[in-house]
Structure 1
Amino acid sequence: MAQTLETLARRSTSMRGIRSVVHTMKTLSVINSAPYEQAAKAIEIYHASVLEGFHAFLTHFGPLDLPSATGTPQILIVFGSDHGLCGNYNEALAAHVAEQTETDTVLCVGAQMADALADCGIAAKQTFFPAASVDGIGRLSNLLTRKLEAIRADAPPPHDISVSLAYVARDSAQGQRPVTTSLLPIDKELMAGLAEKPWVSRSLPAFAMPADDLFRALVRSHLFATVFRAIAEALLTENAARLALMQQAERSVDDRIEALGSEMRAVGQDEITTELLDVIIGFEALKKRKPAQDPEGHDVE
């Protein structure tokens, strides 16, 4: 169906408005990624300090007999997105979680993530609001850490639980991919490596706190830092996915605007040609028309 010049002009204006929205979303994705990346780097430095605290503790008290994950309640925390415009972010993570081994309790971050898990037959026991800023990462990390402490306190003796984190992480080959990492029990290889690591100082570490209280404080700091890092990584990949999608949308809109511009020029040229032909045909018709004459041979006006 042929388009009029006015219709094409309205469609072009609408597409330019859409492009403005897409460009704004793309810019926001770039701006939001910077503080999340800085937060991820900062928490890595903090986590390194926590691990150094474990190193000092193990140097003073020796290797620990850490609990095994066998037979303990299995807890899975899934970090999704409620902000939208990031493709199948939640659905891909939900499919990844569905492929994992059976879990006793699922804690979900994001209502849309809870819906995606429900579509895969997984019911979240509790849903938390996702972080909307860097400050929100700290609040959510504290909330989840306290929730894990409550679950551990309610677990049967010896109050051991197994906790894993599922989120979308950056990947150099694929751009991003869903991953599942273990949080509790603490990695035995990590602790063994810290116990064997030499203490490079003339003074051995000493502590004023009771050993049990100190170890619990280190474990809580380790949980907080690991959860914080997972949230920051999830937000980074979410914004990266949104940025990639907006870049693709921007290219598609630009192509459509260019196509509409070409169509407008073609329709405009056709209208000009039609008008010129009408003028020429009318002029030729006037030239060919012979004047009427009366019986005496005179022209009649």
Structure 2
Amino acid sequence: MTSGAEIAARIQGLEQLGDLVQALRSMAGSRVHQAQNALSGTEGFRKTVEGAILSLRAPVHVEGAGASLLVITSETGFVGGFNNRIIEKVKSVRRPEERLVIVGRRGQILSAEQGLGVDGSFQMTSRADGVTTLARRVLADVGQVAEARIIFAAHQQGGTFKVTERQILPLSLTQQSTDNDAPLHHLPLRTLMAELSQEYLFAEVAQALMESLVSENNARLMTMDAAARNIDETLENLRREERTARQEQITTDMLDVIVGVEAQRQ
């Protein structure tokens, strides 16, 4: 049977691990909250730019050639099957002519392990305030093609996510503007539409990044919850085993004393 000292050492190690899990859980919860608060802002910006484009009633044209598949994964681990589900989706929908661009180190590692040729990569931000800068960098790469799709983890109610595929190029805005008159503008229409189209692309990429950030940290929360429950159950079993070992040691010590007394009497 395991000695009391060994059990005590295991308990101490698990308690320290439990503290780490709780710290990671708190961090993930904070980042979910930050990203969810920012999500409405990115969605509002996208709708504003979309409304501006529709109000101009002009054809949307984006210069570029080729096709890209942008995939958003996590930079760090402890997210369960989050990245595996995304990469499985990539394997099922990627077309041979598409450049594969992956955001997130974990997705890049998985892609390499499964033999997917990665043509471009970016580090995934861990915070909501890093989304704007990252979206601009990604747009500089993806925005130069004629066709682009995004695969990301769309945030769902209840902390779950859905692996989603969304086409962002060519732009397809079919909703009609409710304004009777086109707005006044001073830039040439083609120039204005080109600028607005780039802003709309930026908004689409930022929205996908923000949703993925929410989904990633929700997945991390669930993983940490499961780990915490497992640690608590294991600690309870070890403490029960420690009590049993202590009682057996006390019994053994008492028997030794009794045997010693009896030996002295004889």
Q: TM-score, structure 1 length as denominator? A: 0.81
Residues of 2 paired with 1:23 and 1:138: CA distance? 29
Contact 1:167/1:230 (8 A) holds in 2 = yes
Q: Does 1:178 align with 2:163?
A: yes
CA shift, 1:4, in A, is 1.2
Residue 172 of structure 1 and its aligned partner are, at CA, apart by 4.3
- 1:92 corresponds, among 85, 91, 100, to 85
* Structure 1 counterpart of 2:243: 265
Query: Would the alpha carbon gap of residues 133 and 246 (structure 1) be closer, same or farther in structure 2, given more than 3 Å must change?
Result: same
Q: Which consecutive segments of 4 or more residues in structure 1 shift more than 3 A?
A: 64-67, 171-174, 281-287
Instruction: Work out whether residues 98 and 120 of structure 1, in 8 Å CA contact, stay in contact via their aligned partners in 2.
Output: no
Structural RMSD (CA): 2.1
SS at match of 2:175: helix
Asked whether the 8 Å contact 1:117–1:123 carries over to 2, the reply is yes
Q: Tell me, what secondary structure is at the counterpart of 1:265?
A: helix
Secondary structure at the residue paired with 1:180?
Answer: strand
Specify the code of the residue in structure 2 equivalent to 1:252.
N
Give distance in 2, aligned partners of 1:193 and 1:258. 59
Aligned to 1:211: 189
2:103 aligned partner: 109
- SS of the residue corresponding to residue 202 of structure 2 reads helix
Quick check: 2:60–2:171 contact (8 Å CA) kept in 1?
Answer: no
Determine whether 1:199 maps to 2:179. yes
Equivalent residue, structure 1, for 2:7: 8
Residue equivalent to 1:30 = 29
Q: Which moved more, 1:87-96 or 1:173-182?
A: 173-182
Residue type of the partner of 1:164? R
Structure 2 residue runs of 5 or longer lacking an equivalent are: none
- SS of 2:152's equivalent in the other structure is strand
Amino acid at match of 1:198: T
Q: What residue is the counterpart of 2:38 in the other structure?
A: 39
1:123 lines up with 2:105 in the alignment? no
CA contact (8 A) 1:95 1:120 kept: no
Q: Secondary structure at the match of 1:179?
A: strand
Distance 1:42 1:65, change over 3 A: closer
